[in-house]
Amino acid sequence: MMRRLITALLACTVALSVQAASPVAKPVAKPADAATAQREIQGLIDALGRSGCAFERNGEWYDGARARTHLGRKYDYLRRRDPNGSAESFIERAASRSSTSGRAYHVRCPGKAVEPASAWFNRQLRDLRAAR
């Protein structure tokens, strides 16, 4: 009986120390308000449309105008579900992968290597915020 109690206490101690040692998640920077988030998200969608880059979705490459239409529809859907969603949330939930197939989206810009859409959009968001 005593041996079981000691084993249980040791297991709890180990579990608590592992939990305490695990890295703490950093909070995601959120825009000040929903209007700011909407401007940022629309800015991201527009940036893709103006970029001259192609957007790959489920194995098919879209030009900027077609990509803008597709992402605009996805954003409208998300906004109905979460009107206060951040630009980071939009990138993660709509602009990084297909919600039907789960396949990652990619961006191919002239003279550059193909990259994951999430990396492209996160860089655009950083640039957009730095310009403010």
Mean pLDDT across 1-5: 55
Confidence of residue 39 (pLDDT cuts 50, 70, 90): very high
DSSP state of 33: S
Residue-wise pLDDT tens digits, 41-82:
999 999 999 999 999 999 999 999 999 999 999 999 999 998
* CA pair distance 47, 35, nearest whole angstrom: 18
Query: Closest Cα to residue 87, out of 60, 47, 57?
Result: 47
Residue-wise pLDDT tens digits, 91-132:
999 999 999 999 999 999 999 999 999 999 999 999 999 998
Helical H runs in the chain?
2-21, 34-51, 64-81, 87-90, 117-131
Look at residue 90 in the predicted model and tell me its pLDDT. Answer: 96
Assess whether pLDDT exceeds 80 at residue 2: no
8 A C-beta contact, residue 42 and residue 68: no
Q: What is the pTM of this model?
A: 0.74
